Amino acid sequence: MNTSRHTTVPRPAATVVGGEDDIVYRTVSVPAVLSLLLGLASPLSFIAPLLLVIPLAGAVLALLALRRIAESDGAMIGRGAALVTLALCVASSSATFSRSVVEERLLSRQARQVALEWFELLQRGDVERAFALTLDSIRPSAPPDPTSSVAEAEQNPLERFRGHSVVRYMVIGNGAIEVRYERDLGFDPGLRGQCRIEQQYRVGAFQPTSPAPPATIRVTLQRILSGDAPPRWLVAGTLSDDVPNAGAD
């Protein structure tokens, strides 16, 4: 009586190709697995533009995985995961970029409306209301400088605003100045939606006898968030190479 026992030793997982005697062992591509994790997290880029690094890194890893799998001559698997990752990352990046472009255009249009209103108020001579649309109007007054003259110390922000060269330039036009928006020069998304936009305007009466000859004015506008109040745009500064003494007001 044969009482011997046969012990079966488990073999590693394998892929059978062609028959039982033709067994090829293939390993999973580590970059493919890592890229898949990043691909699943790629929709987080919708939260903030800085998170675009997630789908970009996932796409790079997916391409690396596809290359290594192709060079392995069938020894590595994970091509499907890498392709899925690549699709997720490209879709997330494209959607985030498109949304950013649309959002930037919308914010630019909002800022442009405030800038045109600001120019119009100055043309009508309503300097006080124009000042209310500036960032300086909501800033706390700085303590007086003991080294400055009495006249400078007593000058309030509104009077300083009246003395700005761009403000004087618009006021002397006496309502005959045409304002043309030309283009955006810069966009800074900022933190928590408090973005800044620099826009270029061509202004002037465009007549030889006009007291305000044509000039190019660059206006910086800032989006302000205050508590539960809706966000609003304010003029943060102006700059012109054509208006005399028009530094960064």
Q: 29-41 pLDDT, tens per residue? A: 888 888 889 888 8
Q: Does 25 share its domain with 60?
A: yes
The reply to whether 112 falls in a domain is no
Residues 146 and 87 in one domain: no
pLDDT category at 116 given cuts 50, 70, 90 is very high
User: Is there a domain that residue 67 lies in?
Assistant: yes
- Note whether residue 217 is domain-resident: yes
Whether residues 138 and 79 share a domain: the answer is no
With a cut of 90, say whether residue 11 has pLDDT above it: no
Distance CA 169, CA 212 (A): 6
Is residue 9 domain-resident?
no
Lowest mean pLDDT among 23-32, 113-122, 129-138: 23-32
Query: Do 92 and 165 sit in the same domain of this protein?
Result: no
Q: Using the predicted structure, report yes or no on whether residue 175 has a pLDDT greater than 90.
A: no
In a domain, 205, yes or no: yes
Question: Does any domain span residue 36?
Answer: yes
**Range 122-141 burial, b when 16+ CB lie within 10 A, else e:** bbeeebeebbebbebeeeee
Enclosing domain of residue 146: 124-240
CATH number, domain with residue 130: 3.10.450
The pTM (predicted TM-score) of the whole model is 0.65
pLDDT of residue 14: 42
**Residue 137 confidence class, pLDDT cut points 50, 70, 90:** confident
Q: Residues 131-145: what's their mean pLDDT?
A: 77
30-41 vs 79-123: helix crossing angle, rounded to 10:
30
For the chain, the domain total comes to: 2
Antiparallel, parallel or unpaired: β 27-28 and 76-77: parallel
Q: For 23-32, 194-203, 227-236, which range has the lowest pLDDT when averaged over its residues?
A: 23-32
Same-domain status, 89 and 169: no
pLDDT at 24: 59
